[in-house]
Structure 1
Amino acid sequence: MSGLTLISFSDMFMAKEIRASNSMFSFRHICYILFTLSFCSVIIFHSWSHCYYFSPYHLRVTEEKQNQTIINLLSYPFAWNHLIFSSKPPSKLLKIALFVKKWPQGSHAGGLERHAMTLHIALAKRGHELHIFTTSPGSSIIPKSELGNLYFHFSKPTPGGYLDQALVWEQFQEQNKTGSPFDIVHTESVGLRYTRSRNVTKLAVSWHGIAYETIHSDIIQELLRSPQESKANALAERVTKVVEEVKFFPNYAHHVATSDHAGDILKRVYMIPEERVHIILNGVDEDVFRPDISIGKEFKKRHGIPDSKSLVIGLAGRLVKDKGHPLMLEALKQIMVENSTFQESSIIMVAGDGPWAARYRGLGENVVVLGPLEQSELASFYNAIDLFVNPTLRAQGLDHTLIEAMLSGKPVMATRLASIVGSVIVGGEMGYTFSPTVNALKKAVYESWVDGKEVLHNKGQVARQRGLKLFTATKMVAAYERLFLCISSANNDDHFCQY
């Protein structure tokens, strides 16, 4: 809004020494000023005590100045998803190296792997040459691509399941000498460790979770620990890990934070210079995850879910402790014991696998455990539910399931963690948040039940609009592509770094 002249009525009245008792303006004075301004201005009421006017001249000058404003993208402080980039083919094609611990294998992929696949296949489709350095799959099925510009370079993982740094570096150097050298190197988390990354200047690392965020998770886990469990040393160990990260993170040239909160932490706590930290929120395929009543009805019919149920709750992901399933299980147990009406009128559908799958089955007939679902089945699952719940205790990054549900037009409920409330559920109009306690979760579930289908539907519409604005694969890919173009040509052709 720079360049606009903002004049509040209170300022104008002070200038004219128009005062009334008890700090209230007389109706005659207000009418006089409104009448005067109406001939030459646009008046905007912000509140009763503060109204702003913009003259046509100021609006015109501002528009001209805005058209001339140039943003240095490397210093842009907000999520790049807010910006609009051209969908036209890029004027420059890149040779990109990706280091990722694992490449997705069917429905068992984690968020980091799904992010890597969504992003880099899309970049290959836009014409860029992609070389993926990753571990050999455990099965005999070797990933293949129909794209002629997408290449896999497999290597045997270390005993811990990580990339063998010496081997992948050798593979990288060999490919770097073949044809043209790489324009940009991208590593998902520490796929390429800092001991190697410090030798690459045109490099970006995407952080899907950092140790500082996890301290919140450790506090939650300690509070939820039963008296029978031994006290963990996680908190002390985590602080040490944060210090280690603060020391080695500068060895990566550019950092991509996948949430607004993580971006703030990288700048403020990890002390990475602002021009080396870029926020690009995770995105999912909006062509797959979208509202479709028909596939939702078919999914419910196939799994025996009657339309008469007043509330269908969905859970999805890894059914493990740190994803909050002990919390959810206990909350549902208590609700079903204390409220028979809820038990009779509601259904909980659980997609995923893990130790808590069997425990959910033990809750009764109105809990349906589906097992892991492929992407197309997940889309049907979201369309079959009224509300998606993510009880995660991991205070890291942006969970893809929340974004998938939002793009499918569903309201979301999640733990009140910094990345979630800072980037995803930013208000009650799109869903519900709760503190990580059984009572708080029960209260949120009851609230959604009382709100009913109409309110939930309206919240889902708001959630979808936010999802379309920020969390589509198209928005994410466009932002990464522009960042890669900017980094690769920062010293030669700066127009890619200007917006």
Structure 2
Amino acid sequence: MAKHQTTSFNFRSSCSILVFLSIFSSIPLLYWSYSIGYGYCHDQVENNKEMLSMEPIKLLKFPKAWNQLVFSSKQRRTPQTKLLKIGLFVRKWPEKNQAGGMERHALTLYLALAKRGHDLHIFTTSSSASIPSTMSNLHFHISRPIGSGYLNQVVAWKQFLEENATKAFDVIHSESVGLRLTKSSTYLNNVAVSWHGIAYETIHSDIIQELVRNPLDSSSQQVISDGKMMKVVEEVKFFQYYAHHVATSDHVGDVLKRIYMIPEERVHIILNGVDEEIFKPDVSKGNDFLLKLGLNQDRSRSSIILGLSGRLVKDKGHPLMFEALQQLFLENSTFKETVIVLIAGNGPWGDRYKELGPNVMVLGPLERAQLAEFYNAIDIFVHPTLRAQGLDQVPLEAFLTGKPVMATKLASFTGSIIVNEDMGYTFSPTVSELKRVLYEVWEGGKKNLEKKGGFARERGLKMFTATKMVAAYERLFLCISGNNEEKQQKNEDYCVYQPHQEMD
């Protein structure tokens, strides 16, 4: 922790020097300052001024991501530390490494909270009869999923009430609609729900997928029907029964406040985080990974290595990426010879990618440790998804590994991840635009990507670590614990952020 604080201090000092030089220098020096990240430094300086104002912050009304705050573990880790009994609802518990983003979020968050000493009861489904736990304070309440794979609300709620009768839960947390509250009689003050995708976002996704649809493929046509609109209306109605909402992106936080009309003090932005001990820069691991693929150092140094990861399906943008690469390879033989594409994942588009030649390598699904090696082996991570829902974790993993990201121009990405061009690229979801940006990446070269990767890593450490995410959730849970006003008033200290105390 001390090492990270020193790094941040040095970076802030460097930013201050650049700001000083830009004021008293000539125009060429000003341009040079900007070219090495002046815009990013300016943002950092402004954020630091705000954070260091020493004015107490009422957390429940804090309009920005809690990840940027520094919650002192030292302050809360005393013999008198308040430990919570937390009820957690997630549709499916991940088994091995087969997990979507929501399940991976639950796995990271819940295990970390258990390690901090809280008593966790997880209401979920699993294909196994039971889930073994080596932690005495981690309890699973398993039920069979209903036909669509969702958690059986009747059974899960009954399990919850039985456990609650032994000792009342301090906090209840739901991953999206793991727990669906639809009646005012079930309104509880100590419920928080994290949204990993909402109906309002799916409309944008449908528009994109309709625009890129092959006109000859009528079977895949997306229709934005009245039903889609009514689903948004339905969500606006039943979302009111959750006392607190956690937006996993800045964009969703804005939508929940403006479109879903949820009061500001009930909407909290906590961005997703990933394990910084797994996803971190390691050049040697990246080189070893490439050697295993038969790519020696001479070849890898003379090529731009693009990386893609995830399910190789249509809504993740793989038809778009395939078409862009196919056209570029046909139009420019030098591009084809000096660009290597590594694809981690499986799905129907895996075989299609193999048609593009030996420089496109489909690796199949990788475990998390292998994914860390994969990120270290590439020069830039490409994320062409057409789904405008939630905050995907793979770009965050790339950021923490020190790699820039090239992603579809969706509000969650531009608002929370690639906030300026210093750390990556964004593109509109069309073949022509994707080709243009791929050319820009290629022409910029490795040195340019390394520089952007440095800024990506800096933002990743500030915003997207699992430690940051877990500390923010823990603080929220401590603040809202208890299901009546008297109990919650006793938690007032947890609801106020004191910069001079927290940063000690």
TM tier relative to shorter chain: 0.7 to 0.9
Q: Does 1:434 align with 2:413?
A: no
Pick from 226, 233, 253 the counterpart of residue 263 of structure 1.
253
Give yes or no for contact 1:85–1:479 (8 Å, CA) kept in 2.
Answer: yes
- Given residue 80 of structure 1, which amino acid in structure 2 is its aligned partner? W
- Alignment partner, residue 171 of structure 1: 159
Q: Paired residue for 1:330? A: 323
Asked if the contact 1:411–1:463 (Cα under 8 Å) also holds between the matched residues in 2, the reply is: yes
2:382 alignment partner, one of 372, 383, 389: 389
Q: Secondary structure at the match of 2:182?
A: helix
1:394-451 alpha-carbon deviations (Å, 9 max, x no partner): 1112110000000000011000000100000011110111000001111111111111
Q: Structure 2: how far apart are the matches of 1:158 and 1:411?
A: 41
**Letter of the 1:150 counterpart:** L
Q: Which runs of 5+ in 1 are unaligned?
A: 1-41, 49-61
Contact kept, 8 Å, 2:305 with 2:378, in 1: the verdict is yes
Q: Matched residues in 2 for 1:270 and 1:364: separation?
A: 48
Shift of 1:43: 13
2:73 pairs with 49, 66, 87, which one? 87
Larger helix fraction of residues: 2
Give the number of the structure whose alpha-carbon radius of gyration is greater.
1
Query: Residue 5 of structure 2 corresponds to which residue in structure 1?
Result: none
Q: Structure 1 residues 43, 362: closer, same or farther in 2, change over 3 A?
A: closer
Change beyond 3 A, Cα 1:80–1:388: same
Picking from 115, 119, 124, the partner of 2:105 is 115
- The DSSP-based 3-state class of the residue aligned with 1:213 is helix
- Identify which range, 333-342 or 470-479, moves more after superposition: 333-342
The match for 2:149 is: 161
User: How many pairs does the alignment contain?
Assistant: 440
Say whether residues 1:99 and 2:85 are aligned partners.
no
- Rounded to whole Å, the distance in 1 between the matches of 2:174 and 2:429 is 32
Structure 2 matches for 1:350-499, cutoff 5 A? 350-488=343-481, 489-499=487-497
- The alpha-carbon deviation at position 106 of structure 1 amounts to 2.2
Task: Give the Cα–Cα distance (whole angstroms) in 2 for the partners of residues 215 and 394 of structure 1.
Answer: 10
CA spacing shift, 1:463–1:66, aligned 2, 3 Å? closer
Separation in 2 of the partners of 1:46 and 1:283?
Answer: 39
Q: State the one-letter code of the partner of 2:495.
A: C
Q: CA deviation at 1:195?
A: 2.9
Partner SS for 2:163: helix
| One-letter amino acid matched to 2:385 | T
Matches within 5 A, 1:50-61: none
Aligned-pair CA distance for 1:226: 1.9
Flag the 1:235–1:416 CA change in 2: closer, same or farther, 3 A. farther
Paired position in structure 2 for 1:195: 182
**Structure 1 residue identity aligned to 2:203:** I
Take 1:46 and 1:107, find their aligned partners in 2: how far apart are those partners?
A: 54
Contact 1:95 1:129 in 2 (8 A): yes
Question: How far apart in 1 are the matches of 2:124 and 2:24?
Answer: 54
The residue matched to 2:188 in structure 1 has which SS? Answer: coil
Q: What are the Cα deviations for residues 345-379 of structure 1, in whole angstroms up to 9, with x where unaligned?
A: 11111001111111111211111111111110000
Code of the residue aligned with 1:121 in structure 2: it is L
**1 CA distance for matches of 2:152 and 2:322?**
39
Query: Following the alignment from structure 2 to structure 1, what is the Cα–Cα distance between the partners of residues 151 and 350?
Result: 31
Does residue 342 in structure 1 map to residue 329 in structure 2?
Answer: no
Separation in structure 2 between the aligned mates of residue 379 and residue 365 of structure 1, nearest angstrom:
23
2:145, 2:67 → 1: CA distance? 34
Displacement of 1:47 in angstroms is: 11
Kindly provide the amino acid, as one letter, of the partner of residue 148 in structure 1.
Answer: S
Matches within 5 A, 1:64-75: 66-67=53-54, 69-75=55-61
Tell me: CA distance 1:158–1:270, structure 2 relative to 1, closer, same or farther (3 Å): same
Note if contact 2:478-2:491 (Cα within 8 Å) is conserved in structure 1: no
Higher alpha-carbon deviation: 444-453 or 194-203: 194-203
Q: Does the residue aligned with 1:357 lie in a helix, a strand or coil?
A: helix
1:193 Cα shift?
Answer: 0.8
Evaluate the alpha carbon distance shift between residue 479 and residue 136 of structure 1 in structure 2; reply closer, same or farther with a 3 A threshold: same
Contact 1:219–1:235 (Cα < 8 Å) also in 2: no
The two structures have a TM-score, normalised by structure 1, of 0.85
More divergent stretch after superposition (300-309 vs 476-485): 300-309
Q: CA deviation at 1:66?
A: 3.9
Q: Which residue of 2 aligns with 1:221?
A: 209
Partner of residue 181 from structure 1, selected from 158, 168, 172? 168
For residues 351 and 224 of structure 2, the distance between their equivalents in structure 1, rounded to whole angstroms, comes to 28
- Give the counterpart of 2:293 among 299, 303, 308: 303
**CA offsets per residue over residues 153-186 of structure 1, 9 Å max, x none?**
11011011111111111111111122x2110000
Is the contact made by 2:409 and 2:426 (CA closer than 8 Å) also made in structure 1? Answer: yes
Question: Which residue pairs with 2:231 in the alignment?
Answer: 241
3-state secondary structure, aligned to 2:123: strand
Shift of 1:119: 0.5
For residues 459 and 322 of structure 2, the distance between their equivalents in structure 1, rounded to whole angstroms, comes to 29
Superposed CA deviations along residues 79-104 of structure 1, whole A, max 9, x for unmatched, are: 10111101235420000111000111
8 A Cα contact 1:412 1:431, kept in partner: yes
- Structure 1 stretch displaced more, 233-242 or 192-201: 192-201
CA distance in 1, matches of 2:489, 2:225: 43
Partner of 2:38: none
Distance in structure 2 (CA, Å) of the matches to 1:388 and 1:288:
17
User: Cα offset for 1:306?
Assistant: 3.0
Tell me the CA shift for residue 344 of structure 1: 1.1
Amino acid at match of 1:448: V
CA contact under 8 A between 1:260 and 1:423: conserved in structure 2? yes
2:62 corresponds in structure 1 to 76
Q: Read off the aligned partner of 2:92 and give its amino acid letter.
A: K
> AA paired with 1:329?
F
- Per the alignment, residue 254 of structure 1 pairs with 244
Superposition deviation, residue 196 in structure 1: 6.7
Q: 1 CA distance for matches of 2:394 and 2:187?
A: 36
SS of match in other structure, 2:480: helix
Deviation of 1:225 (Å): 1.8
CA gap of 1:239–1:337, structure 2 versus 1, over 3 A, is same
- Residue range with higher mean Cα deviation, 235-244 or 469-478: 235-244
Letter in 2 for 1:441: L
Q: Deviations over 1:167-215 (max 9, x none)?
A: 111111111122x211000000000012378333210000011111222
Q: Which residue of 2 aligns with 1:290?
A: 280
- Kept in 1: contact 2:480–2:491 (CA 8 A): no
The percentage of counterpart residues that share the same residue type is: 62
Q: Is contact 1:218-1:235 (8 Å) kept?
A: no
Contact 1:490 1:497 (C-alpha < 8 Å) held by counterparts: no
In structure 2, give the amino acid aligned to 1:246. Answer: V
